[in-house]
Amino acid sequence: MEYKWTVLTNTTLGVIMSSLNANIVMISLPTIFRGLGINPFAGGEFIYLLWILMGYSIVLASILVTFGRISDIFGRTRMYTWGFIIFTVASILLSIVPDNSKNFGATLLIAFRMIQAVGGGFLMVNSTALLTDTFPVNERGKALGLNQSAFIVGSLLGLILGGFLAGYNWHLVFIVNIPFALAGTLWSIFKLKRNYEKMNVKIDYLGNITLALGLILISLGFTYVLEPYGNSQMGWSNPWVLVAFATGFVSIILFVIVERIVKDPLFDLSLFKIRAFSFGNLSLFFNTLARGAVMFLVTIWLQGIYLPLHGYPYTQTPFWAGVYLLPMMVGMVSIAPISGHLTDKYGARIFATAGMAIIAVSLFILILLPYNFNIVEFELIMFLNGIGNGLFASPNTTAIMNSISSKHRGTGNGMRMTLSNIGSTISMAIFFSITITVFSQYVPSAMYNAAINIVPQKIAYELSQLPPSGLLFAAFLGIDPLAAIKSSGLSQSSIMALSSHTFLPSIIGPSFITGLHYSLYISIVLILIGTLFSALRGKKYVHEENIKSTVEVIEHGSK
């Protein structure tokens, strides 16, 4: 096997493992929480759900640029291999968290997931860089397209295995990662080359500290915005959130100042002078800012409204929501290798820009659907959205990586993925705030008016006081939001009325869809801004060092 295919195969294994891990945990959260014996909606317990959802991405957002720089200095293959080792150890630790360990177990789970994110960080920053190192310019788009397809295959496996394995034992959700991690570790140790040009530079400790501190604080701020504070359903007025934002932005400003004066900066800010690099990253940032939370809200739409409305029990809605989103992933996996191959020939601009435009169209059509939609129309829209994302992702990544030299590939890719993670985190806070704000205005009165004809006034009032965010997250976790009320001594007729598969979805559906529409309009505007940046990235641009390396590969092949 040619070495470049060895690298592609190994990095593909890593990509499948990481995407499988993300989706299998998401789809298995109901079983994990039941296995640990905690109720995320009891007093003070919501924070555990928040950290399991967001902790992994917070770690990634704060370490990727630093890990990219470390890999540039000490060797990408070495750090990539360490990524597999750390990921393997963390997966083993996650698989032995005790049953019914409640908050202690949840804390262990969060801590081990963060360790896993460290391993995932080394894998993520180096897989794309290794492919760029190994494949010549005229084949990189194809390689990155295949890698993107592998990511989607891993996502599909995560959805399917999550629903299947969680039905037996929640520990299997983490055990399934171990064979992939061990195989990747051994393959990396014995098959990947360790040769690299040693860089005689000092580590920029001040730059690392200011950037990591800034990104951690900003990510924490946007995470705790999702937790209710005082009488508000969101945490925007929480003093700690405001302090985190202020301190985080000051740290980022200090990072920029430091990077302009130190001899060997963590990140060479002059890279942003390269239009293909800066505009590609801006386009990616607006893509993730627009889509990060919207797809999460669409998942809640399925799990909390559509599927219960059509008779699916709450315990099964997480799995079936994943199944209903498969057309989106099929659209991505079908177009990603093709768009990558075409990028090698014609450049990224036309395909990445067209992909962003298609995403905007799909989101606009999504606005036209009622909360109880036609399933065929929904699946076609999801497929179109997947086509758009598949058309955008690999061309945009190829263009960014082709625009920088070998010595900057680790940090350049780290910056690309950091912007993507930060965009997703901010997206979650903004769009969930919009949806919950609108949702909270209408649901209490709608709940009271619907319940007063079924249950005593006291119970109707209690129902109207249920936290709107709790209703949505309960549905997301496959928990019946009205379970506690139903067991409070009501008559059989009242219980039957509350248990009707149309009762709760008909109350929360109209309010949720109104909030979602506001979010989608903003998302479309952000996508269009990203489309503009993509169109302005310039014609096909390849760093001169990449052209030279391609010529050397071709000459070597001819010999």
Residues lower than pLDDT 50 in the chain:
550-559
Give me 317's structure tokens. Answer: 């809605």
- 544 contacts: CB under 8 Å, gap ≥ 6: none
**What would the DSSP string read from start to end of 230-264?**
TTBSS-TT-HHHHHHHHHHHHHHHHHHHHHHHSSS
pLDDT digit string (tens) for 285-307? 999 999 877 877 888 888 888 98
Give the Cα separation of 224 and 188 in Å (integer): 38
State residue 559's pLDDT score: 42
State residue 557's pLDDT score: 41
* Boundaries of every domain in the chain: 1-200, 204-263, 440-508
State residue 197's pLDDT score: 56
pLDDT digit string (tens) for 78-130? 889 999 999 999 999 999 999 888 889 989 999 999 999 899 888 888 888 88
Please give the span between the terminal C-alpha atoms of the chain, in angstroms, as a whole number: 18
**What would the DSSP string read from start to end of 459-475?**
HHHHHHTS-HHHHHHHH
Give the Cα separation of 326 and 160 in Å (integer): 10
- 425 contacts: CB under 8 Å, gap ≥ 6: 54, 57, 58, 61, 218, 219, 222, 223, 292
**Which amino acid, one-letter code, is at 544?**
E
What are the backbone dihedrals phi and psi of residue 98, each rounded to the nearest 5 degrees, phi first?
A: -65, 150
What are the backbone dihedrals phi and psi of residue 238, each rounded to the nearest 5 degrees, phi first?
A: -65, 120
Give the Cα separation of 422 and 428 in Å (integer): 10
* The Cα angle at residue 422 between residues 305 and 362, in degrees rounded to 5: 45
What are the backbone dihedrals phi and psi of residue 232, each rounded to the nearest 5 degrees, phi first?
A: -95, 145
Do residues 269 and 436 make contact, with C-beta atoms less than 8 angstroms apart?
Answer: no
Q: What is the CATH number of domain 1-200?
A: 1.20.1250.20
Give the Cα separation of 136 and 77 in Å (integer): 18
**What would the DSSP string read from start to end of 424-487?**
HHHHHHHHHHHHHHHHHHHHHHHHHHHHTTTS-HHHHHHHHTS-HHHHHHHHHTT--TTHHHHT
Do residues 505 and 513 make contact, with C-beta atoms less than 8 angstroms apart?
Answer: no
From its phi and psi, is residue 37 left (phi > 0), alpha (psi between -120 and 50) or beta?
Answer: left
Q: How far is CA 362 from each of CA 51, 266, 328, 381, 523, rounded to the nearest angstrom? A: 31, 39, 11, 6, 11
Give the Cα separation of 252 and 396 in Å (integer): 26
Give the Cα separation of 195 and 437 in Å (integer): 55
